Structure 1
Amino acid sequence: MTEKVLPKEDSDFSLPGRMDESNSAYFVPEIESKSKSKSLVIFGIAFVLVSTGIFAYYFLNQSEIDSEILDNSAFKTLEERMVEHYRVGQFGSDHAHAALLVFVNGDQIDFSHPRFQLQSKYIHFENNNPYLIHKHATDVPLDMLFSSFGLEITSECIVLRGQTDLNQNCIDSKNSMTVLINGKSFSNINLYEIIHNDRILISFGDSSLISNQLEQLDKLEIHDVPKSSKLVPEKDISV
């Protein structure tokens, strides 16, 4: 007679089906849990290292980074961008006066209005004068004056942009555009740099009115350049 022997406590895996049950129900989840925990730890360490590296780089290069941000053209004013574009000279490197009259359909634009006064540091109208241009640096084109208060002049149109409206006039069969500097026709007024005592006429509309407009322009007084300038504190502009 064969003696029956009970299976030992650690021999359960030898029974039919026990090995599969043990592997699938107990061992696999434990392995996956450890793997996930390990991945989270690695990710956390990597995140800390990257964050620390970025912070350290910014700390060591803070001045340079801040300088690049401030130099970004998106933060610059229109005047600052134009100064760079036209390579305008240092403020105070020149001082010149010129008379400017602009007519639209026979009506003179009154530059004594506050919206036109002292709008640019480099070239502007001042002291409520309706026609006298003041230029305070070399290489300053009239484009900087016009852009400072929203005036756009092309070969075909004259456009004046207000805060809430747009006044645009373009040549047609009845209206023409005339630009004269010291009595001579000029093709691109925007790029012109005034010389002291210049007289400039820009006229849109009936060309028969130009002779009278020139007479009016010739009668205007162009003040001599003062030996010293005074400062307008609220605008940081010398006049």
Structure 2
Amino acid sequence: MSEDKTLPKDIDSDDSLPGRYEESNFEYQQPISPQETAPKSKSKSLAIGIIVFAIVSAGFFSYYFMNQNEIDSQIVQNTLNMSPEQILAEQYNVGKYGSDHAHAAMLVVLDGEQLNFGLPQFQLSSKYIHFEDHNPYLIHKHATGVPLDMLFVSIGLKVTQDCIFVEYDFSKSANEFCTEGKKTVQVYVNGERFLSDISQYEVQHNDRILITLDDKSISKHLKYLDSFKIFDVPKKPLVNSEKDIFI
């Protein structure tokens, strides 16, 4: 009697083969490409960056508003600690002391008389530009970018289109000389009429500057101004420190 050779009941089922069961029960998922995930990552990073910036900004402004009075007070205090000359030096972006050296002559005529800058109250009143050695007309400039405004402020002189204001002793006593009618203050630089704001002018070596209200004697004043001697600038500086301003 022959034996019936029958295959196992589930031999023809793929599930019985090695590994098939797992595959048959694995939920198939399509792989996600990097291009699809990149925008999500960038958006997430951007959102985080915005949140961090908002937090930092909020903290900064909160600190400022909580300490506003103290901060503003410190700014004012720092400004008060600066001298008028230092404020002007920063305003005009003046160069370092010793970055330039020039001599010029200036004649200011009020009521027919020369203003005497040789008086003590006009001498060595500024580090960057000044009169010295009791000379009534010779200007010494010691840095680049120094306008006449720094000299005028230091000696209490103000020149406008219509008036010349002089504060002789840096006190409340002052004198103001103004033109009449349609006349204006006469300003000449090197013999030529100067129509701009003379306070903003930066003197150059050997300049000759005339400021007067007397428009009838201009030629006489210019001739007198030309007679002033302007000393040459030494080739080698004679100063040993920035505190010394005698040259």
Q: Which TM-score bucket, shorter chain as reference?
A: 0.5 to 0.7
Of residues 156, 163, 178, the one that matches 2:162 is 156
Q: Tell me the amino acid that sits aligned with residue 180 of structure 1.
A: Y
Of residues 89, 94, 100, the one that matches 1:94 is 100
Assess if the C-alpha contact under 8 Å between 1:232 and 1:238 holds in 2. no
Assess if the C-alpha contact under 8 Å between 1:121 and 1:238 holds in 2. no
Assess if the C-alpha contact under 8 Å between 2:161 and 2:184 holds in 1. no
Mapping of residues 12-161 of structure 1, within 5 Å: 72-161=78-167
* Secondary structure of residue in 2 paired with 1:134: strand
TM-aligned CA deviation for residue 238 of structure 1: 3.8
TM-aligned CA deviation for residue 230 of structure 1: 4.0
Assess if the C-alpha contact under 8 Å between 1:152 and 1:159 holds in 2. yes
Task: Name structure 2 gaps, 5 residues minimum.
Answer: 1-70
* Secondary structure of residue in 2 paired with 1:72: helix
Of residues 191, 199, 202, the one that matches 2:211 is 202
Assess if the C-alpha contact under 8 Å between 1:229 and 1:238 holds in 2. no
TM-aligned CA deviation for residue 232 of structure 1: 9.5
Q: Tell me the amino acid that sits aligned with residue 88 of structure 2.
A: M
Larger radius of gyration: 2
Q: Tell me the amino acid that sits aligned with residue 143 of structure 1.
A: D
Q: Describe the superposition over 1:176-229 as per-residue Cα deviations: whole angstroms up to 9, x where unpaired.
A: 41000011121210000011111100011x311111111100111110001334
Identity %: 51
Q: May I ask how many residue pairs the two structures share in their alignment?
A: 172
- 2:189 is matched with which residue? 181
Whether 1:219 aligns to 2:219 is no
Mapped partners of 1:134, 1:141: distance in 2: 12
Mapping of residues 157-172 of structure 1, within 5 Å: 157-162=163-168, 163-172=171-180
TM-aligned CA deviation for residue 132 of structure 1: 0.6
TM-aligned CA deviation for residue 174 of structure 1: 8.7
* Secondary structure of residue in 2 paired with 1:83: helix
Task: Name structure 1 gaps, 5 residues minimum.
Answer: 1-64
* Secondary structure of residue in 1 paired with 2:217: helix
Assess if the C-alpha contact under 8 Å between 2:95 and 2:144 holds in 1. yes
Distance verdict in 2 for CA 1:217–1:232, change over 3 Å: farther
* Secondary structure of residue in 1 paired with 2:85: helix
Assess if the C-alpha contact under 8 Å between 1:123 and 1:140 holds in 2. yes
Mapped partners of 1:137, 1:81: distance in 2: 15
Q: TM-score, normalised by structure 2?
A: 0.64
TM-aligned CA deviation for residue 130 of structure 1: 0.8
Q: TM-score, normalised by structure 1?
A: 0.67
**Structure number having the greater strand percentage:** 1
* Secondary structure of residue in 1 paired with 2:145: coil
TM-aligned CA deviation for residue 90 of structure 1: 0.4
- 1:192 is matched with which residue? 201
